[in-house]
Structure 1
Amino acid sequence: MSTSSALRQSAKAPIKVYGLGGRYAHALYAAANKQNKLDVVDTELTTLQNTLNQNEKLAAFVSNPSVNKQNKLGVLQDFAKEQKMSDLSSNFVALLTENNRLNKLKDVLSAWSQIMSAHKGEVVCNIKTAKALDSSQEKQLREALAAFVKKGDSLKINTEIDPTILGGMVGEIGDKYIDMSVATKVKKMTQLISEAV
């Protein structure tokens, strides 16, 4: 009894991610953990995510509801063979296809990424800037953000360029949200001026 309880605990994800994507990601985490294939599956799903990000035609094909699921399954099985994906990953993608959930693949992959970041002790930080940071700015940012990370955890910084923020930066680190964008400052100033008139 205590052994099966310990197995259930070890298969439990380090964080809870909600929604449909979270449910599928948690199920995959439990199966991969049980088979000691977390790193393998993580690498394979990262490859799938990168491929979908880079190949717009494939991403559109996979998420198109008018395409027959058998056609999607054939294309994804060919991709899995080409990438030499494990049975666990290829069967998982086949399950999503069979259940007509490929339109939620982005949510599933996002939930998986969150779970694996927590598993690896990574603190994910999403940063938006109006233009790309140079290496010295990136170094300063990393040093400033390191203060938010507990000892033993590592920092994983995802950067995104968003010209609509005009300048400055918008960031999310863990459950904290920081908005130091020029666009927000302009909006606040405009609101103060219009209230004063």
Structure 2
Amino acid sequence: MAFNRSSARVLAVATRPVVLAARTYATAATAPPVQLFGVDGTYASALYTAAAKQSALDATAKGLGTLKTLLASDKDLPQILANPALSASDKKLVVETLAKTVVGSATVTNLLSVLADNNRLGMLGEVIAKFDTLMAAHKGEVEASITSAAPLDSKVLSKLESAIAKSQFVGAGKKLKVTNKINPDILGGLIVEVGDRTVDLSIASKLTRMNALISEAI
């Protein structure tokens, strides 16, 4: 599938602010469903717009899914991509190699080229994660993660899911997807993340705030 100049310009705008990308390329039909922040969010938003204009959102998501699996299975790959010493020829070889795993997805191949040109290949995993967020929003899904020190009981998790679903952060008609993440370092309590919102109710966080107050008092 050949690249056209329009799709290349859309992805190239990833080096500019998100607002500018939205103003220049987004329409009601192709604009990202939610606003993302950070450089990785900028690339993901530009990729979403390009893919939507080409009616290739599903194909793009599939191609990124393949790369996501590859990043998870090959422990050396993330380090290779993040290596600042990669020469132009090295980056070209990396792009060509990765592109072979996503044959048929011009948008993903183009993304790889843009990341390589801008020395951002090491950010590929983060861009994929942000694109997943956009696709979830596109499908009317809201992702939430609940971090606890130990696995939560199914009944407790169900009650938390019900409470989050009724909150203003989800909205009517949305499908909530909840993931329970385990992190013993929080000591206890919970950290709830819904979209770009975070509610930190962990014991570790409370101890940090308490230590800060004690230090200020002393």
> Normalising by the residue count of structure 2, what TM-score does the alignment of the two structures yield?
0.73
Which residue is equivalent to 2:110? 91
| Distance (Å, rounded) in 1 between the aligned partners of 2:85 and 2:105 | 28
| Distance (Å, rounded) in 2 between the aligned partners of 1:25 and 1:176 | 19
Q: Which residue type is aligned with residue 193 of structure 2?
A: E
The answer to whether the 8 Å contact 2:102/2:108 transfers is: no
Which residue is equivalent to 1:162? 183
> How large is the Cα RMSD of the aligned pairs?
2.8
Task: Between 185-194 and 118-127, report the one with greater CA deviation.
Answer: 185-194
SS in 2 for 1:125: strand
Q: Which residue type is aligned with residue 170 of structure 1?
A: I
SS in 2 for 1:56: coil
> Normalising by the residue count of structure 1, what TM-score does the alignment of the two structures yield?
0.79
Which residue is equivalent to 1:101? 120
The answer to whether the 8 Å contact 2:66/2:101 transfers is: no
Pair 1:94–1:176, CA change in 2 (3 A) = closer
The answer to whether the 8 Å contact 1:61/1:72 transfers is: no
| Distance (Å, rounded) in 2 between the aligned partners of 1:88 and 1:194 | 52
SS in 2 for 1:9: coil
Displacement of 1:187 in angstroms is 4.5
The answer to whether the 8 Å contact 2:148/2:190 transfers is: yes
| Distance (Å, rounded) in 1 between the aligned partners of 2:91 and 2:68 | 16
Q: Which runs of 5+ in 1 are unaligned?
A: 1-6
Displacement of 1:166 in angstroms is 0.7
Displacement of 1:42 in angstroms is 1.3
- Aligned equivalent of 2:148, options 129, 138, 145: 129
Displacement of 1:119 in angstroms is 1.5
Identity of counterpart residues, as a percentage?
38
Displacement of 1:85 in angstroms is 4.8
Displacement of 1:136 in angstroms is 4.1
- Aligned equivalent of 2:204, options 176, 183, 189: 183
Q: Which residue type is aligned with residue 44 of structure 1?
A: G
- Aligned equivalent of 1:16, options 29, 35, 38: 35
Task: Between 28-37 and 76-85, report the one with greater CA deviation.
Answer: 76-85
Q: Which residue type is aligned with residue 124 of structure 1?
A: E
SS in 2 for 1:167: coil
The answer to whether the 8 Å contact 2:102/2:109 transfers is: no
Which residue is equivalent to 1:4? none
Q: Which runs of 5+ in 2 are unaligned?
A: 1-25
1:111-164 alpha-carbon deviations (Å, 9 max, x no partner): 323322222222221321112335444333323322223221111224332211
| Distance (Å, rounded) in 2 between the aligned partners of 1:90 and 1:14 | 23
Pair 1:187–1:21, CA change in 2 (3 A) = closer
After superposition, residues 9-158 of structure 1 pair within 5 angstroms as 9-148=28-167, 149-158=170-179
1:13-32 alpha-carbon deviations (Å, 9 max, x no partner): 12222332233222211211
Count of residue pairs the alignment pairs up:
191
Displacement of 1:194 in angstroms is 7.8
